[in-house]
Each structure stands twice: as C-alpha cells, then as structure tokens.
Copies of this chain bind each other. A is one copy, B any other.
Amino acid sequence: MTQSGDIPVEDFKRAATRAIDWIASYLTHPEEYPVLAQVRPGEMKTALPASAPKSAEPLDGVLDDFEEIVVPGITHWNHPCFFAYFGITGSAPGILGELLSAALNVNGMLWQTSPAATELEEVALDWLRQMLGLPEHFDGVIMDTASVSTLCAIAAARHALSDLEIRERGMSGRSDLPLLRLYTSEQAHSSVEKAALVLGLGKAGVRKVPTDDAFRLDAGALESAITEDREAGHRPFCVTATVGTTSTTSIDPIPAIAEICRREGLWLHVDAAYAGSAAVIPEYRHVLDGCEAATSVVVNPHKWLFTPIDCSALYTTRPDVLTGAFSLVPEYLRTGVDGEIRNYMDWGVSLGRRFRALKLWMVLRCFGTEGIALRLREHIRLAQQFAGRIDEHPEFERLAPTPLSVVCFRARPAHIDSDEEALNAFNETLLQRLNAGGQVYLSHTTLDGRYTLRLAIGNVRTEERHVARAWELICAEGKRLASE
C-alpha cells in the first residue's frame, strides 16, 4: 500500500478481475442462494469490528469479507424466484454502465461539469420517450426514485399556482392561502402521500378518491370530490393517477382523468413507475393511453426495464414550471454557456447528480426495443399462466384482475372457506413459511380487508420453470398447513 494517492492500479485490476469472476458466477447461478436472506436481526452487525481499521487493509481481504459476511445477508433480487414487490433486473449492460460511471465519477450538475452526462441523459430519455409512445412535447430528467420524481412533479404543480406566490412567500404565516388539495386514489403508492407531507400539504392536503371493483380510481368520484372541495373554498391543484398500482397493477382511467384535469385546470401527474415500461410492447402501448394529455409522467427503468437501481425517468410537458420551482443559481454555479444548454441541477432537489444516463443508454442498446418487448411480453405471459392455475384450483382464488405481470391471490382451503379472519391468518402463515424456505420470495398486500399474496414477475432470469416451481411450493405448503 502506498502512502499517498489511490490504491495501486495493479491491486485494483487484480481485485476487479476477481470481482468480475464472482459476479459472472453469481449471475449464472443466483438460484444457489436462498432468495430471502436467512439471517437474524443483528447477526451481521456483530460479525464486523466495532471501528474502522487504523491501517489500510488489502482489497483481497475486503472481498473475502464481502463473500463471507455480506453476501449471506443479501436478499437476492437477482434470483429467478424473487416474486416480491416488483421484480427488477440489474442486467449485464446496466452493471457495466454503473462500473464505468463510478470510474468516471462525474457530477452532472451542470452541462459544463460533463457535457456527455447531460447530453446522454437527453438522448437516452428521448429514446425511451419514443419507445413509450409519449409525444414530443414531453421533456425528461433522470431522478433516483419515483418517490423523488413524484415529489418534484407535485412541487411543480404547486409552483404552477402562480397567483399564490408560494416560492416567494411560502405557505406559513398567511391567512390568504386556501387548503391546497391533491387527489389520488386509495390504491396510490405511499410515495404520493409522503411527497405531500414533505411539501407541507399535510395529510389534509391529500384527498384519497375511492376505486372501483378493479382497484382503479373512480373518475366520477374524483369529479365530485373536486366540486365539493371548490364549494368548500379549497384549491384543487393536482391529480396523481397511477398506471400499475403497487398492490394489484391496476390502471387508472387516464383518459377520463385527463379530461377532468383539463376542464378543471389541474396538473395531472401519472405514476407509471412499474407499468409504464409495458408500453414498449406494441400490443400493450395502450397502458399509457391518455398520458399524452398528462402534465408529467414517471417511469422507472430500474423497475421493469433491466436497469440497475436507481434510475427514475420523469417526463413533463412543463419543464419551465419544473425549473421555475427548483432553479436557484448562486454565483459559484454560473457558467459561460448557461444560455445555450440545460443544467440539470435546475430540474430537481439534488445538486449532485450521478451519471445515471450511461447505464440506461447501454441497456437500451444492448437489448434493443424488440429485445425488451420480447422479455416483458414473456413476463406477462408467465403471470397470466399463473393466474390461470389459481383460477382453476378449487382451494385458491384470485383477488384482483391481472392486467400485467403481478398476480394477487390467496389460498382458500375448504375447512375455513368462509371465515375471513381464519383465511387471513392462514395466508399470512402460508407466506411466512414459503419465504422462510428460501426457495421463493413473495410479498403481500391487503385488498378489501383480505390478506393477499402477490406473485410479481419482472426479473429477466425468471422462466416458466421458476413460476411452476413457485406454484408447486405454494400448493404443497398450503396443503401441509391445511392439514395441521
């Protein structure tokens, strides 16, 4: 170890080669690991020293500890039987993109601080926009997560209320400010409400509109809520609709909602974080129907587009309002080209910006639009097949429609067939046992008070045999549990 400078480059090369070998082997056989980490709380913490070492340690020793201490504490999102939450894939080109991006280590806050970071972000987002069928009047920016994209979109919606002068005057110490209302469905992601909390809208600022029997926002109820709020002197300003809700992947009726927003002069933000990617498949392009009339749309390439976490694409037809809400340029961040280019620091909260566009661009190129469509189509086919098995089995039932690649279901064993409380307890135990086995990992939700199992397909390594294996395990564990 030298006394100055970075770690010697030969050491880096040797360790990197070892890391690449490990990754190649890992990605070939992620099934060799339990999906859900089989460790107890605190187990890993206690395996590590209480303080950082005084002297430098060799990279090789750190890689040993990575394999021996860190990896056993990993829940394997790369495992083809990872069916929890939304399945994701950090594909090979995406991993290489992250590697190169880490090596370049640029901060893309300004065009000047790496023109390639800014311009590749523009290019990759324009490619993706075309793939999704969004019109040209949408312009984009990459954020870390949909939580932040949605926060920024709602902040822009608030800024669009120019008569209220919130940027200058704020929201406190004023008696002239009506209650600002954001509308979203009962099935919307928690990030919508979290954004409202951050923005100072509070829980009172979020009106949760009921959904229909397919868990889609009820447009009629939205319209009534807006009318009621206006009559009460409140100020409606934004609707956040969802294409692909987290619990059931239901798709809100965007065309009807967009029409209401147009008529009422409201900002329409569409959370298509997961399901937006389906629009890449020609016959599923309709999932984004109506979004051409939205003011902003978020789609996460790190969800169902093979890009390593994190990468969230926020599109908006009002970049002027978005930058109006966020731009603050102190002297030390001015450059000589500011009039000719865009500085992405003006588009959101974070000044520091990783070069995330590189991995997205590499993923789009290495899979191609047809390659992406092919894989997503297969995920949907596998989910439909699994839904069919549920429907055919007398002791299981589906609890929501399956428009895309997530199936919501529960076991309904004959002996407790109509005891809702017992069914909830049964399914909760079933899930715990399934996951504890380490062969599959599913997550859950509740729908109309029913404990619901979710099987979500989204990993590029998931094949028919993996879903079949999950079904076998579910049936076997269900039978065992019913016989106890």
Contact = CB atoms under 8 A, between A and B. Distances in A.
B116 A37 contact: yes
A252 interface: no
A7 B172 contact: no
B12 A92 contact: yes
B52 A127 contact: yes
A177 B195 CA distance: 21
A93 B62 contact: yes
B85 A193 contact: no
Contacts of A362: 59, 62, 66
A105 B173 contact: no
Contacts of A309: 105-107, 352, 354
Interface stretch (A19-27, A219-227, A476-484): A19-27
A46 to B, nearest CB: 9
Interface residues of A, number: 180
Interface stretch (A143-151, A256-264, A410-418): A143-151
A102 interface: yes
Nearest to A341: B41
A71 interface: yes
Given A19-B96, A147-B349, A197-B326, A78 B90 contact: no
A366 interface: yes
Contact of A4 (B16, B26, B463): B463
Given A52-B368, A454-B332, A326 B194 contact: yes
Task: Name which of A9, A73, A116, A446 has the most chain B CB atoms within 10 A of its CB.
Answer: A116
Contacts of A169: 202-204
Interface stretch (A288-296, A369-377, A383-391, A393-401): A369-377
Contact of A7 (B12, B85, B91): B91
Contact of A55 (B4, B107, B235, B371): B371
Contacts of A41: 111, 115, 337, 340-341
A106 B75 contact: yes
Interface string A6-40: 11010111011101110110111000000011010
B103 A23 contact: yes
Nearest to A13: B24
Nearest to A86: B107
B16 A20 contact: yes
Contact of A36 (B11, B112, B128): B112
A285 to B, nearest CB: 15
Can you tell how many copies of this chain the complex includes?
2
Given A172-B178, A332-B454, A365 B52 contact: yes
Contacts of A310: 350, 352, 354
Contacts of A78: 103-105
A48 B123 CA distance: 8
A51 B130 contact: yes
Contact of A378 (B4, B27, B146, B371): B4
A119 B73 contact: yes
Contacts of A454: 332
A173 B179 contact: yes
A242 interface: no
Interface in A160-179: 166-175, 177-179
A128 B52 contact: yes
A26 B103 contact: yes
Interface string A110-130: 011111110110110011101
Given A146-B351, A171-B201, A199-B200, 10 more contacts: A51-B127, A52-B127, A52-B130, A56-B371, A105-B309, A166-B202, A173-B179, A194-B349, A194-B351, A247-B332
28 contacts: A4-B374, A5-B461, A5-B463, A12-B23, A13-B21, A15-B96, A16-B95, A16-B99, A36-B112, A56-B371, A63-B96, A70-B358, A74-B104, A75-B106, A88-B105, A90-B105, A98-B101, A106-B309, A169-B204, A171-B201, A174-B177, A194-B351, A195-B349, A198-B198, A199-B199, A199-B200, A247-B332, A302-B352
Instruction: Give me the 4 closest cross-chain CB pairs, A-B, nearest first.
Output: A170-B202, A173-B179, A73-B116, A90-B105
